[in-house]
Structure 1
Amino acid sequence: MQVQLQKGGFILPEKLGDDWSNAGHKRVLLKASNDINTLETHIAIRKLKGVYWVLFGKQHHKALKIEPLDIFSIQLIEDTTKYGVVTPEAFDAVYDSDPDGAAIFESLTDGKKRGLIYQVKRYKNEQTQVDKMLILFENLKRGIRDPRELFKTR
């Protein structure tokens, strides 16, 4: 299916949005492509003012090399990940080794969990990811919940 890029995302046809929404899917895996590039990412489908809207940030525009009003192809696939994002191996290793930290992590909202996973994924070095996860879990166990403070050492 083809869609047109707006300033901050694109609109899904109502039938497609209804189908995914009625099936209980708020987040999906998106495969987007044009003649040159392909991108695979997890996205949220939101209904705003009666229209199904998909936020599609500038990093995605750059990856596909597209500009507002460009038309590109999309395919929506059921998201089978636990958090609506693929977790790095470092996350899984620390999560499995620290049941107390994992339990507190699980008590957070889905959006906050996803945001923290994205913060860990920003680091390309796996050891840095492990270090950040250890700091995160220690701070969660200390009762810190402010996202700006969760990755700071004490």
Structure 2
Amino acid sequence: MKTEKLKLTHINNHNIFIPNSVYKPFADKKMNRVKVELNFNNMKLDFYAAIKKDKISGDFKMMISKQKQKELGLSLGDEFEIQLFEDTSKYGVEMPEELEAVLMSDYDAYKIFESFTAGKKRSIIYGVIRYKTSQQKIDKALIMCENLKRGNHEPIKMFKLE
């Protein structure tokens, strides 16, 4: 399932508003997460996002970070192109191969990870994604697995040695 490519104007520093008529097929299937393809100035950015109904306008909205706006060079008033796709990923975000490999090598940590809510799993995945090098991702995933097995599930401490 996907939308047609849609041209929108960037009118809010924090959100992108999706017209109700465009998002309705997703909403009818109770999908609240999508894969997004955003194009601006010959640059393309793919990411996953949560979509919520805006209580005031009745349209749907998704957050867009300052980092993503900066990466694209997107400013208020700019017109951009967006297309939404059904999120078919297991976790609502791409799993970094380093984290997946570490979890596959540590069954106990994997079982604990899988017992978490979808949002907590995404938080852990984002915690690993933020590191730049593959080795840093592996190191942090190893620390996170040890902390999971020790019962340390606090996000702020999960990637630190104790």
**TM-score band, normalised by the shorter chain?**
over 0.9
Please say if 1:4 is aligned against 2:13: no
Please say if 1:38 is aligned against 2:44: yes
Superposition pairs for residues 1-154 of structure 1, below 5 Å?
A: 1-5=6-10, 6-49=12-55, 50-154=58-162
Give the CA deviation at 1:44.
Answer: 1.0
Give the CA deviation at 1:54.
Answer: 0.9
Tell me, what secondary structure is at the counterpart of 1:41?
strand
Q: Distance in 1 between matches of 2:81 and 2:88?
A: 22
The aligned amino acid for 2:85 is I
Q: Is the 8 A contact 1:17 1:45 kept in 2?
A: no
Give the CA deviation at 1:71.
Answer: 1.7
Give the CA deviation at 1:69.
Answer: 2.5
Q: Distance in 2 between matches of 1:106 and 1:112?
A: 10
Give the CA deviation at 1:9.
Answer: 1.4
- Superposed CA RMSD in Å reads 1.2
Q: Distance in 2 between matches of 1:125 and 1:57?
A: 22
Q: Is the 8 A contact 1:36 1:64 kept in 2?
A: no
- Structure 1: unaligned runs, 5 residues or longer: none
Aligned length: 154
Taking only the aligned residue pairs, the percentage that are identical comes to 40
In the TM superposition, structure 1's runs of 4+ consecutive aligned residues that sit over 4 Å from their partners are: none
